[in-house]
Homo-oligomer: A and B are copies of this chain.
């Protein structure tokens, strides 16, 4: 709750306001549901502040997340709040030629290269790197480089990274890490995913 008081006040030479507005790196990991949905929920807040929002979807999906995608596109085009750019892997990143021969590994790396360019240019103020934990976990993108780029990003750019198995090195660096644990899931009772809920 925002009303809460921090447990410690660090001796970092920052005022409370400076510290409060420090841009964040956030990680949503774990095997439970809600990692991406919470990230998109946060994007609503960023949109509401008028911040430009960049979504980078690092895992191909057919119908998955169309709800969030449509909603954020309608919001971005509403004339209120910030603009929203949605970059989707698997349909070709929006900035590269479609190339059926390109491996997912290459696509993930190209996606990260674009994120780096956008961070350097301060294109967005809020980034959702959706499912980015997977290419990190698989070693397709180097976690140490990601941490270094994030640590040195200019200006005030918040970044939220989702996906299972977020590398420890990333979690140690991140300002906020939430682990979504599965306590109970309909699939355990033989129920498959359904529209409106899973996508």
Contacts and interface: CB of A to CB of B under 8 A. Distances in A.
Contacts of A38: 33-34, 37-38, 41, 180
A19 B192 contact: yes
A181 B181 contact: yes
Contacts of A171: 183-184
A93 interface: no
Given A41-B38, A64-B2, A178-B183, A80 B75 contact: no
A95 B191 CA distance: 36
A178 B32 contact: yes
Interface residues of A, number: 81
A146 interface: no
Interface in A147-199: 158, 171, 174-199
B178 A186 contact: no
B176 A33 contact: yes
A188 B125 CA distance: 23
A8 B41 contact: no
Contact of A188 (B6, B19, B42, B46): B6
Contacts of A28: 34
Interface stretch (A47-55, A100-108, A113-121): A47-55
Contact of A81 (B2, B20, B74): B74
A199 B16 CA distance: 18
Given A4-B193, A186-B176, A187-B4, A67 B48 contact: yes
Nearest first, the 8 A-B pairs at minimum CB distance are A37-B41, A45-B67, A2-B193, A34-B38, A48-B67, A177-B183, A44-B71, A41-B41
